[in-house]
Amino acid sequence: MVELPLSGITVVELGDSASAPFAGQVLAGLGADVWKVERPAGDSARGWGPSQWRGEGAAFHALNRGKRMISIDIKDPEQLAKLQRLITERADVFLHNLRPGNSVKYGLDAASLRARNPELIHCELGAFGHLGPLNTEPGYDPLMQAFSGIMSITGEADGAPVRAGVSIIDFGSGMWSVIGILAALFRRAGSGAGAAINSSLLETAIAWNAVAIAGFNADGNPGERHGSGISFIVPHRGFRCSDGDLIISCANDPLFARLAEALGHPEWATDERFATNAARLVNRAEIERLIGETVAGNTRDHWRDLLRPYGIPAAPVQTTSELLAHEQTAALGIVAAPEGEDDIATVGVPLSFDGRRPPPLHSARRVGADDADLDELLRS
């Protein structure tokens, strides 16, 4: 059995949809005892589709495994008081993504709760952030990919701006919240003092756009869309093979020279148009055309096998089913169901401790499944 680093830490998560539930999921995977608080109707993600598991959205199970489930209507004064007691008397961490203003309205803000328990770590995961003229507006992942500029540099050059196919801002915001919580727990271990942490979707989106922002501040270039490629390295994109696309990446000139040799065109490496990354950036269209024409006539596996001895980074663009069937995924053991249980296989914690990954967590329980345990806890 893996000794999980957050064993003994109690977290109360008042999270809906994706960002805060993902943070709570990470903390649960690291061993924390996570009490998820839902309104009586349940988290919004319970109804997300189209994929279902045991009558509820598969997405909900991906974000809420291994948690205790309690149902509390914070609009009811008695139930709200019960939640406040749970947080101030039993919790090490309170994590929420309530709509702006609601934490103060219901006495769940950092000042109110930490006045009763100074050791509490309070983490508020907002939308546009806790400061500024938009701090009271709600927000979701695609809004932040748009507002932050990420969508302006995502997609094909001659196409519309595109949102990333996964909720990178929701999940990234959850990760930053976890990082803040872990830092606060570390500090508290020495000082005994809790913390008030603020994170937000917009701040995460801005952080993910750091390279484009640095580029603009350097020379005023707002960035462009390069499809599967990237603005500052060539080649570093997908090329169409006979059976699909293969990403080929040459992050430096020696790698490009080896690629040219592997593809049977060593002259590319000495051509002044392509010899350096700076030159390849200027002549991007031509070198990408030449590589594309070269690889088009054979399969992804053929080119991967050919490029591997040269140390050229390459990977096929896979579907989810191809990923799950791949022996590398199986070897990592990151997608699994709890041992001995008829449960959905989901993604585990992408970390190993002393060579072992934290075990898979059971899928999410029904709304209010642990209400009786909460009542018993508060009576003790």
Residues recognised as catalytic: 170
Q: Which residue has the tokens 């006045």?
A: 115
Q: Which tokens is 293 given?
A: 């024409």
> Could you give the 3-state DSSP secondary structure of residue 157?
coil
> Strand 314-316 and strand 244-249: pairing?
antiparallel
What DSSP letter does each residue of 78-114 carry, written as one string?
Answer: HHHHHHHHHHHHH-SEEEE-PPTTHHHHTT-SHHHHH
Q: Which tokens is 78 given?
A: 């008695």
Buried b (16+ CB within 10 A) or exposed e, 115-137: eebeebbbbbbbbbbeeeeeeee
Q: Which tokens is 352 given?
A: 């190993």
Q: How far apart are CA 148 and CA 172, in angstroms?
A: 14
- Let me know: does 2 contact 355? Beta carbons within 8 Å: no
- Let me know: does 239 contact 292? Beta carbons within 8 Å: yes
**Quick one: which H or E segment has residue 279?**
helix 277-282
Please name every residue paired with 95 in a beta bridge, in sequence order, or none if there are none.
13, 123
Q: Which tokens is 100 given?
A: 């702006």
